Structure 1
Amino acid sequence: MARRAAIDVGTNTVLLLVAEERERGWVAVVERAEITRLGRGVDRTGRLDPQAIRDTVAVLARYAGEARALGAGDPVCVATSAARDAANGAEFFEAARREAGLAPEVVSGDEEARLVWASAWRDFGAAGGLCVLDVGGGSTEVCVGDGPAPRARRSLQLGAVRLTERVAPPDPPGPAALALFRQRAAEALAPAAALLAGHPRPARMVGVAGTVTTLAAVSRELARYDAERVHGSELTLAEVDALQLRLAGLTTAARARLPGMEPKRADVIVAGSAVVAEAMRALGFDRLTVSDRGVRWGLLYDRFGRDG
């Protein structure tokens, strides 16, 4: 049985998937996620931080070694918002080649959206169509459609890390910073509503990536993250709004201790929750289905066959 590996280098998180081809399709052998925040400060400086490059490359080297040891060969690796926005991205790519033996490919926002769609449609596609929301650290992708390829997609320069750095909230953020998060998110997401113009609203919204999965885990008070309980679960807009208020009233340290919270995401989760809520409002959804999969799974299907 063939094994393949895919790595997604995001603004906030580096994710690894090693999967095995079986009769029923691709089955995960190993999944890893580690927050290195490659994109910290990029919105302000336009450059990748040297320590963030070192931290990210160290994770890539470890992931690549694990994938090769598991018989998956060299992983296919893509880099998204931070790497494509930074003026010194070449420094990261050179270090990745030197230290990890990898050549990450920079994907555009549109391509990132297409890969996320491939994953979401495989798991949740059905009559009535989908709206897929991918809230990353540096960008947010929205796709709509009713088939294996999205009908329309939009990549927006807004994510949990970028919005947090722009607002620079106090700790705890409190009502004033939360209102500003919501305002900035609503303004940035307004163009996404045009994706629905002239078409019926899709039957289901699917939310992808760490902000959404963390909100689901915190809502369920998971003492230990459980992908099987998170993937396919639902979050209502009312739940997301209530979580925003609760999280905004806590310090970063207190948020980090909550059951279900990934500690390294605690400082950006309030901004991330605002992006999720305002996207739901802009697109007219009162609930979303949570996906624990994303670019890495779409990359696997795209490069190695959708049907496994």
Structure 2
Amino acid sequence: MNNSLEHVNSITGAVIDVGTNSVKLLVGEICDGVVSPIYETSYQTRLGSSLYSYGKLMPDSIASTCEAINQLVHKARKLSSQFIRIFATSAARDASNSSELQQLVKTETGLDLEIISEEQEAIWAFDGITQNLKPRIPIIVLDVGGGSTQLSVGLAGTRPIFQSLDLGAVRLMHSFPRMHQDEPPGLATMNECIGIVSSILDTSIDLNIKAWINRFRSQSVLFGAGGTASVLASVKNGLKKFDRQLIDSTIISTPELLAMLEQLWTKSLKDRELIVGLPKNKADIIIFGVVIYFSFIKLFQFAELRPSTRGIRFGALLDSVRAFYKNKPINF
């Protein structure tokens, strides 16, 4: 879906992605419909930590998230970004008081915080991953976030069929409140979690999407977007620092994914924090994100998962450049 960006001049822009678990910045150069990253970083603020218990964002989470956004805006400006787009996803969509976060961001940065729709989130993830792929290749993008999971299917270069599922790593973690982090959750609890997620996927995924997957399964490529998939690639490769090229070239077979899943669920939080490639601040929620990927792969009998570092933020940059050239309202 990048044809409208062909033969345009190079432009540097920034997007700040305010998720349920973390706030992430991508500054990139966009030229001929392709994003080349210049700088990336993130802060874990757990904006949605109280959402599934109280239905709203807590003042401390709002404050820490706004502080992170403020720092990222400052960094984007130092890197001479020609536009800065700030958007929020699942937690802000679901919270009853998300306007408080929007107002604080406006006051602190002078910029607007856009709460994007489920449709926009899914399309951006699909566009971001497929930007460098040959047209017409059947693609499935599973973007597991903290509060929701975006499922998009379609041919590269076309508009995908999509669905947003109320299923995310943080949301799922809150379904297991009695889990003791100082003890391994164990395989019995893991299988219980897989059963819950498998049931949700089987009953919730749209019949048209199921039909598309079944039709193109043998030809399609399953990409995993978002932090969980990148962490899986980092763990498989024993990465001590971020390596986009290696992560994007990693293929995780279904048996490998199951072995990693069992390893994670049979370790305590303290022991998971020692795993090379797994950031300590994600050691608690990672087990739930991996369950979602494994349950999807098991349901549709895929042989492998391909993690991708190019997802929603890359798609957001492409869309923002379109808006920039069409003179639509956007933060500068």
Q: TM-score, structure 2 length as denominator?
A: 0.87
Q: Percent identity?
A: 31
Corresponding residue number in structure 1 for 2:5 = none
1:53 to 62, 70, 73: 62
CA deviation string 1:176-227 (max 9, x = no partner):
2211221121122113363031633251101100011111111111122222
Aligned residues of 1:209 and 1:292 also touching (Cα < 8 A): yes
Q: Out of 175, 178, 186, which is 1:174 matched to?
A: 186
Q: Distance in 1 between the 2:21 and 2:12 partners? A: 27
The alpha carbon displacement at 1:87 in A equals 0.5
- Structure 2: gaps (5+ residues): 1-9, 326-332
Alignment-mate amino acid for residue 119 of structure 1: G
Relative to structure 1, the CA distance from residue 24 to residue 89 in structure 2 (aligned partners, 3 Å threshold; closer, same or farther) is closer
Aligned to 1:286: 303
Which residue number in structure 2 is paired with residue 276 of structure 1?
Answer: 293
The aligned amino acid for 2:267 is L
Is the alpha carbon distance of 1:45 and 1:125 closer, same or farther for their aligned partners in structure 2, counting shifts above 3 Å?
Answer: farther
Question: Within the alignment, does 1:93 sit opposite 2:89 as a pair?
Answer: no
- 1:256 maps to which residue? 273
CA distance in 2, matches of 1:278, 1:63: 35
| 1:80 equivalent in structure 2 | 89
Structural mapping, 1:152-163, within 5 Å: 152-163=161-172
Correspondence 1:104 to 2:78: no
> Aligned match of 1:34 in 43, 59, 62?
43
Instruction: Work out which of the residue numbers 196, 206, 215 in structure 1 matches 2:223.
Output: 206
- Contact 1:236-1:287 within 8 A present in 2 as well: yes
For structure 1, the residue ranges without an aligned partner over 5 or more in a row are: none
Amino acid at match of 1:264: N
SS class of match (1:105): strand
Picking from 222, 247, 252, the partner of 1:235 is 252
Is 1:197 aligned to residue 211 of structure 2?
yes
Q: Structure 1 CA distance, aligned partners of 2:293 and 2:110?
A: 36
Q: What SS does the aligned partner of 1:166 have? A: coil
Q: Given that residues 14 and 83 in structure 2 are in contact (C-alpha distance below 8 angstroms), is that contact kept between their aligned partners in structure 1?
A: yes
Could you tell me whether the CA contact under 8 Å between 1:193 and 1:282 is conserved in 2?
no
- Once residues 161 and 11 of structure 2 are traced to their aligned partners in structure 1, the CA distance between those partners, rounded to angstroms, is 33
1:112 is aligned with what amino acid?
A: E
Residues 11-43 of structure 1, C-alpha deviations (whole Å, 9 max, x = no match): 112111111245784321111122211111212
CA distance, structure 2, for counterparts of residue 34 and residue 41 of structure 1: 18
- The Cα of 1:92 is off from its aligned counterpart by 0.9
Q: 1:118 to 1:151 in 2, by over 3 A?
A: closer
For 1:105 and 1:295, the matched residues in 2 are separated by 14
| 1:188 paired residue among 190, 197, 200 | 200
Q: Distance in 1 between matches of 2:44 and 2:242?
A: 15
Alpha-carbon separation, structure 1, partners of 2:280 and 2:169: 15
* Aligned-residue offset at 1:291: 0.6
Match status 1:137 vs 2:146: yes
Aligned Cα RMSD in Å? 2.0
Shift of 1:170: 2.6
In 1, the alpha carbon distance for the partners of 2:136 and 2:82 equals: 37
Residue in 2 aligned with 1:244?
261
